[in-house]
Structure 1
């Protein structure tokens, strides 16, 4: 990305020069001087490592929000691959308290594909609860679902990590955070954390609020979120106080405890490396997921109109099947976006792993800020020329 002097920092390998040009052009306009990073691995090699903007370098750690759902999905996929978790077993068989209010037949498969209907809590969750997956799970065990489980899908933005995490804890005696550290982060030396160590705090750069244009301000004013809507419940806007999305990653409690729905902290370089371990061989090791496991978790399990967001989308098992958003990617491409507009994925068909991270929230950053369209297209084109 360009900073105010128009400089892009970092390196690209031969053949990816066009990605550097696109990063400078796109991010200089879109990220509004908040700082951004772009990292790409190709067949296990770091081929793009770029950054720019106020106070951000390649080693800066950023709040990457729902990117942590990708780490959650990877841990669960490994447990399924090991035979520890059965996707078609009822959640309540591990977690009996969850059977309350008609949720007894919900399967882990349905939960992972955002079909449980348990998108939030009546009355909302407190900031302390939002930082603590066990507290969220305790509140939601007896919660009534907001639609009949299994009959539709809607983004479980702030709670799916706690719900899935409770299943993992009951089945294994370990948290997702601990399993991620043991099986993924530490072995691959990833600069992406579910639980940021205090000694790394000086590298953290706080999230910044979006700076909407007058037209964007008008759009927001004309399209408020109704306080009794499913969106308000899913994003905890009905709570007192309502959810502070920028303050979430800026809370030390969130960074330390790493609620799995959105508490991951890291660099684009670190998250791209995580996906490189899915996309193909990395450091001489076989991909983390076998082809049959990857096929299952990338398969579309929910599609159509999202009951929470009102938009058309698709979910696999924890992961988002990225080809539904970026048709230039292969059918088993999996990843997840983050609220500020970050995006990360693995595409085993091309050996690509991609991570774009930005510090300032994009306008309606949603499933990846708009600049990802051009950045991903440039990355795929460059890789395609190299073969």
Structure 2
């Protein structure tokens, strides 16, 4: 059934394209309602149930500079949704017996044991408990994009706390820490391994490291008109997101920002995934249920381990608690900090409202991607997930 369902008023949905299956018209209504009225930015939402697409919608403006409309193949920078992709890869390797979550990282990456890190486990990395939320070194923009300089810095660095005893968001270091384990075990970087395992076989338009041939489909980042005030450069979160000032966050128009072609083309597996909504939702559907009749990537037992709560509450060093809960590598349901469908939902959000998750109880793969960042009070993903929940009953 197309999105212009007879039960719905055309005036509300004329700004969007795509379709919603029977019983999912409320998702189309919610999507039309979250698109910006001023045309500054756009987005897409996709939903799979039991491995088959039931919602595929897009709308708004992909490029406000040219007026280019959002199209079915438009992709956006989805920031930390990359962590969810990286975590899918790690859990697949665990399932295959190639990685043990409770083994030291140094089993797979021997050089990492330096400076008192011999007991840091893979699980510590996935749960933001490794004690390495920031790098100590002064890296350049080029260093951050080159992989090896960051990896070598993390090898030499001592943890900020006894690993496992506290947590703080490893905003970008998460990706190199988990990603180097993936690289040592598989011989491929996370972005390449994702393409080998899921992206290419399933035709998913999702990348960590955007190929040059795909740049034409990108919706440029649109920063919020009323941004959330950021603390100073010495603050732990700012240091984490900027790699001590080597990057500008979000930096849509900066030569060293997240929106630059050089940053998007590199592999930063905690912060620079680029995807369509269909691609991200498809990846989680493949993990949770299997896609198009194929076996699921992650077994029920693997998901049970992944969603077991590992981290919540006050973080190091200032005791801030944003209400989030973590399994191993994934956000787990903790409204309103991160809303999904229930206790078996696993996924990750990204700056600017992007979010994606799977749920094997509801048989779902879901994603919302957008080019327009919104400041305080951004509830777009929450409203879409609420509509999905209502449709699923």
Matches within 5 A, 1:214-253: 220=229, 224-236=230-242, 238-239=244-245, 242-246=248-252, 248-253=257-262
Q: As a proportion of its length, which structure holds more helix?
A: 1
Matches within 5 A, 1:146-161: 146-161=160-175
Cα distance per residue 1:189-237 (max 9 Å; x no partner): 101112322222211121111111xxx6xx72xxx41433322321227
Query: Comparing 16-25 with 232-241, which one deviates more in the overlay?
Result: 232-241
| Pair 18,198 (structure 1): closer, same or farther in 2 beyond 3 Å | same
| Pair 140,328 (structure 1): closer, same or farther in 2 beyond 3 Å | closer
> TM-score, normalized by length of structure 1?
0.88
Equivalent of residue 16 in structure 1, options 24, 40, 49: 24
Give me the CA root mean square deviation: 2.5
Equivalent of residue 284 in structure 2, options 271, 275, 278: 275
Matches within 5 A, 1:1-387: 7-28=15-36, 33-54=40-61, 55=68, 56-212=70-226, 220=229, 224-236=230-242, 238-239=244-245, 242-246=248-252, 248-307=257-316, 310-322=321-333, 325=337, 329-363=341-375, 369-384=378-393
In structure 1, what is the Cα distance between the partners aligned to 2:248 and 2:42? 27
**What secondary structure sits across from 2:56 in the alignment?**
strand
In structure 2, what is the Cα distance between the partners aligned to 1:237 and 1:164? 17
Query: Comparing 290-299 with 243-252, which one deviates more in the overlay?
Result: 243-252
How many residue pairs match? The answer is: 372
Give the CA deviation at 1:314: 1.6
CA contact (8 A) 1:38 1:357 kept: yes
Give the CA deviation at 1:126: 2.3
Give the CA deviation at 1:332: 1.6
CA contact (8 A) 1:86 1:108 kept: yes
> TM-score, normalized by length of structure 2?
0.87
| Pair 300,124 (structure 1): closer, same or farther in 2 beyond 3 Å | farther
Structure 1 stretches of 4+ moved >4 Å: 1-6, 240-245, 323-328
Give the CA deviation at 1:157: 0.8
